[in-house]
Amino acid sequence: MKRRKFIKKSVVGGGLITLSAGSLWASVNLFGDRPVPRRILGRSGEEISAIGFGGIMLNNEPQETCNDMIARAFEAGIDYYDVAPTYGNAEELMGPALEPYRKRCFLSCKSAQRDREGVEREMQESFDKLRTDYFDLYQLHALTSIEDVERSFAPGGAMEAILRAREQGKVRLIGFSAHTEEAALLALEYFDFDTVMFPINFVCWHSGNFGPRVYEKAVERNLGIFVLKSLAERGLRSGEERLFSNVWYKPVLDNELFDQALAFSLSRKVTSVIPPGDMSLFLKALDRVHHFRPLTANQEDSLRQKALQIDPLFSREV
């Protein structure tokens, strides 16, 4: 088997490979003339790629590799890029890599700071590192508890900084990411956000009863929905090591289940799925999104039965 075909099979197949990032991109041609499908971003009316580029993939990669990754992703039709200060050195690597495409892409950043001064400081640092003077979307990052939400909306809280930045033209849209339904639903009561970033995952949905309430509220308000953890299978067990340095859970690797997990998310009224933070899984999602078909009722039921045999990464709070 020729080297190029072997590598392509490895990426699109099991996803477990040992090649460097640069070798992967240099050796694989998955896309040809097929641009990534696009979807409407809620009531904003904008269209962006149905697969997003998770900036955490860049963490600790050589700058040359990052330049190549983003150039190839953009060429393949990826115009949605997401990053955060908590993703190691991803921002400073993404800045020069994305600079040639900045005006033609949708750039999202976020802050886990809960006070106005903290967000102002982080936002300016992100502007500098990412070599931009505005964000298409800025989000409250990783809302987890009631306290997170209340602190963000209190006097002197994070939302004051984000709203001011929007008034100054530094932020276009405002959203949040969350990993609990409790925090997400409360945030939606506090403010009329443009977007929600949340796990829409087949195991969590069916086995953990986690996701439907946030999803339904977001659809009701016609918000843009960004999907986290679509391709997560389960959490790591005690003593189990990470398969990928920037992925803290066990991702779906089985080919059939990978397609089903991706289709589960894309079959809903979501805008874009962000694959796990490893390039081989990102490339696999890029390939498979071209084969997406909405799940039938029978396929949904079959996937639900599989999900009930797996411990969910997130469960509904009791």
* 260-288 pLDDT, tens digit each: 999 999 999 999 999 999 999 999 999 99
Q: Is the pLDDT assigned to residue 296 strictly greater than 70?
A: yes
Q: Are 184 and 214 in contact (CB under 8 A)?
A: yes
- Say how far residue 16 (Cα) sits from the centre of its chain: 20
> Per the structure block, which two tokens stand in for 1?
């088997």
3 state SS of 216: helix
Cα–Cα distances in Å, from 195 out to 90, 132, 214, 299? 23, 21, 12, 29
Provide mean pLDDT across the span 17-38: 61
pLDDT of 148 reads 98
pLDDT of 159 reads 98
pLDDT of 10 reads 46
Q: Is the pLDDT assigned to residue 108 strictly greater than 80?
A: yes
- CATH T-level assignment (fold) for domain 46-307: TIM Barrel (3.20.20)
3 state SS of 28: coil
pLDDT of 14 reads 45
Torsions phi, psi of 54, nearest 5?
A: -80, 115
Distance from C-alpha of 225 to C-alpha of 215, rounded to nearest angstrom: 8
pLDDT of 29 reads 52
> Band of the pLDDT at 21, cuts 50, 70, 90?
low
pLDDT in tens, 50-106: 999 999 999 999 999 999 999 999 999 999 999 999 999 999 999 999 999 999 999
Q: Where are the domains of the chain?
A: 46-307
Cα–Cα nearest to 312, from 181, 145, 215, 176: 181
**Whose structure tokens read 């999602």?**
285
pLDDT of 15 reads 42
pTM value is 0.92
Q: Which residues contact 215 (CB under 8 A, 6 or more apart)?
A: 198, 200, 225, 268
> Band of the pLDDT at 4, cuts 50, 70, 90?
very low
**Whose structure tokens read 């590598």?**
7
Q: Which residues contact 64 (CB under 8 A, 6 or more apart)?
A: 22
pLDDT in tens, 218-265: 999 999 999 999 999 999 999 999 999 999 999 999 999 999 999 999
Cα–Cα nearest to 228, from 259, 255, 254, 205: 205
Cα–Cα nearest to 101, from 61, 121, 72: 72
Distance from C-alpha of 156 to C-alpha of 127, rounded to nearest angstrom: 22
pLDDT in tens, 133-176: 999 999 999 999 999 999 999 999 999 999 999 999 999 999 99
pLDDT of 34 reads 75
Distance from C-alpha of 57 to C-alpha of 282, rounded to nearest angstrom: 9
Q: Is the pLDDT assigned to residue 18 strictly greater than 70?
A: no
Cα–Cα nearest to 258, from 237, 227, 236, 289: 289
Distance from C-alpha of 110 to C-alpha of 52, rounded to nearest angstrom: 15
pLDDT of 33 reads 66
Provide mean pLDDT across the span 164-190: 98
